[in-house]
């Protein structure tokens, strides 16, 4: 099986969003370059194409700073899935409230209705990252996909990730392919 051949006419577009310094760009480059790369804050966007299951997945990483978030809606069109990345080491109350607010605004956005969401709690390789129980308590998010999807008009999954250790990449990319296949069948 050739990892890099794909149907040139088919591409799955995924939008990666989250607050600034969540580790979105590091995740993107870790997945596309197969190694951890130090990055600087994204001022506009980065896009990388990853081949998985003989399919092309274009992941659009958009900066998460407040001044950039007002432009996010320009990228919503033609996206097959949304990755929302949260820094799982950031325990500041104000940060948690802001992350919840931004996520809820996206989940309730009519333009994104029925677009699958993958909520990634990143930086799980660090000792002070949220536990599953803390994620449920602080963000009201369950790792039970059916339970969380029932709350919103989306298919929603919550997972952990680490750009440094490249944890869960296979499961993340397989999830994207599965939900987009399901969506195309409907």
Asked if residue 186 is part of any domain, the answer here is no
Q: Is 123 annotated as a binding residue?
A: yes
pLDDT by residue (tens digit) across 81-111? 999 999 999 999 999 999 999 999 999 999 9
pLDDT exceeds cutoff 50 at 3:
no
Q: Is 44 annotated as a binding residue?
A: no
SS3 track for 87-102: ECCCCCHHHHHHHHHH
Asked if residue 53 is part of any domain, the answer here is yes
Instruction: Give, as one character, the DSSP assignment of residue 51.
Output: E
Instruction: Tally the domains of the chain.
Output: 1
pLDDT by residue (tens digit) across 8-20? 558 899 999 999 9
Q: Is 22 annotated as a binding residue?
A: yes
Residue with tokens 């963000």: 139
User: For the chain, how many helices (H) and strands (E)?
Assistant: 6, 6
Q: Is 63 annotated as a binding residue?
A: no
With 0.85 as the threshold, say if the pTM is over it: yes
Query: Residue 137 maps to which CATH number?
Result: 3.40.50.300
Asked if residue 25 is part of any domain, the answer here is yes
Q: Is 49 annotated as a binding residue?
A: no
Return the pLDDT at 102.
96
pLDDT by residue (tens digit) across 27-72? 888 878 766 666 666 777 888 998 988 889 999 999 999 999 999 9
Domain span holding position 164: 11-181
Q: Is 122 annotated as a binding residue?
A: yes
Q: Is 25 annotated as a binding residue?
A: yes
Q: Is 28 annotated as a binding residue?
A: no
66 burial via Cβ count (<10 Å: 0-12, 13-18, 19+): exposed
């Amino acid at each position: 099986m050739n990892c890099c051949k794909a149907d040139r006419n088919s591409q799955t577009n995924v939008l990666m969003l989250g607050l600034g310094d969540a580790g979105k760009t590091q995740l993107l480059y870790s997945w596309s370059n197969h190694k951890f790369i130090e990055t600087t804050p994204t001022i506009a966007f980065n896009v990388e194409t990853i081949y998985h299951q003989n399919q092309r997945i274009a992941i659009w990483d958009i900066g998460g700073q407040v001044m950039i978030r007002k432009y996010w809606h320009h990228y919503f069109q033609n996206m097959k899935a949304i990755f929302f990345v949260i820094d799982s080491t950031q325990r500041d109350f104000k940060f948690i409230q802001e992350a919840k607010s931004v996520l809820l605004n996206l989940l309730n956005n009519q333009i994104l209705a029925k677009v699958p969401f993958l909520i990634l709690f990143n930086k799980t390789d660090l000792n002070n990252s949220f536990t599953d129980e803390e994620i449920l308590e602080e963000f009201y998010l369950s790792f039970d996909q059916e339970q969380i999807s029932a709350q919103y008009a989306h298919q929603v999954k919550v997972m952990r990730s680490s750009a440094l250790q490249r944890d869960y990449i296979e499961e993340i990319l397989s999830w994207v392919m599965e939900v987009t296949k399901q969506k195309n069948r409907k």
